[in-house]
Amino acid sequence: MMNIMHPSLRRLDLNLLPVFDAIYRHRSVRLAADELAMSTSALSHALSRLRITLNDPLFYREGHRMCPSVYATQLAPSVASVLNRLEQELTPQPEFEAASSTEHLQIAITDFTAFCIFPALMHKLQYEAPGLRFELRYLPHNPALTELLAGEVDLALGFSTPDDIRHPELEEIGWFEDEYVVISNTDRTQLTLKDYLAARHLVVTPWNEKQGVLDIQLEQMGYTRQIAIKTPSMLSAPFIVAESDLLMAIPRFAAEKLIPATKIKIFALPFAIPAFEVKIYSHKRSGKRGATRWLKAKLQTLATECSSGR
71, 58 contact by CB (below 8 A): yes
What domains, with CATH codes, occur in the chain?
10-87 (1.10.10.10), 104-178+277-308 (3.40.190.10), 180-273 (3.40.190.10)
Would strands 155-159 and 226-231 be described as parallel, antiparallel, or unpaired?
Answer: unpaired
CA-based end-to-end distance of the chain:
73
Q: Return d(Cα 205, Cα 187) in angstroms, integer.
A: 26
Nearest to 247 by CA among 299, 255, 127: 255
Q: Return d(Cα 196, Cα 47) in angstroms, integer.
A: 87
pLDDT of amino acid 5 = 52
Would strands 180-184 and 265-268 be described as parallel, antiparallel, or unpaired?
Answer: antiparallel
pLDDT of amino acid 185 = 97
Largest CA distance in the chain: 104
pLDDT of amino acid 285 = 72
Sites in the chain below the pLDDT cut of 50: 1-2
Would strands 276-283 and 170-178 be described as parallel, antiparallel, or unpaired?
Answer: antiparallel
pLDDT of amino acid 7 = 62
